[in-house]
Every structure is written in C-alpha cells, then in structure tokens.
Amino acid sequence: MATLRLSTPLRPYVEGKAELTLDGDTVADTMRSLTEQYPTLRAHLFNSQGELRPFVHLFINNEDIRHLQGLDTPVHPEDRLMLVPSIAGG
C-alpha cells in the first residue's frame, strides 16, 4: 500500500488526516480508492473529464506525475504520493 500525504487545504475532506495508505497499481487506481472513500474530495481534485485540475499537483516520490506517465504512472507499495494544491495566503 502506497502512502499519500495531503496538503492542509485538502485535509477537511479526509476527516482531517494528513496521511493515508492507499491500494492500487497505478496513480489512477490509488485516486479511485481515495475518492471512493472520500467522495467530496473528487470535485476538488478532478474536472468533469476526470483530469487532475491545473491548480493541484500530485507528486510521486517528489516527481510530478505530469512529467511521468500521468494517471497511468505505476505505483509501488513503498512509494510516497503527495497532493499539493496552490495556496495564496501571505
């Protein structure tokens, strides 16, 4: 099971948790497992075409999935995923 870390603005949608463990062989699988568990998160991460929204980044082992194979990027149990939306406070 891979570990997912969520940035603060997304935590209210996952009962305040900072980290979760997720099943899945690809990023798409892990995200499906995540949004099935926490349906209100889906609209914050994906548009109606199922694409990751442009103000949210998903990193796998510190690499942006957009620079790998996107949602088809393979996930291994020891991988660390991180969801990072843009924030603007100052």
Q: Which residues bind another protein (CB under 8 A)?
A: 5, 7-9, 12-13, 18, 40, 44, 53-55, 57, 59, 62-64, 67, 82, 84-90
Minimum distance, C-beta of residue 30 to another protein, in the bound complex (Å): 17
Q: Residue 59 and residue 84: Cα distance in Å, rounded?
A: 8
Q: Which of 37, 36, 35 has the alpha carbon at shortest distance from 53?
A: 35
Pair of tokens at residue 87: 């924030």
In this complex, which beta carbon is closest to another protein, that of residue 23 or of residue 50?
A: 50
Minimum distance, C-beta of residue 78 to another protein, in the bound complex (Å): 16
In this complex, which beta carbon is closest to another protein, that of residue 31 or of residue 65?
A: 65
Q: Which residues contact 9 (CB under 8 A, 6 or more apart)?
A: 85, 87
SS3 assignment, position 85: strand
Minimum distance, C-beta of residue 67 to another protein, in the bound complex (Å): 6
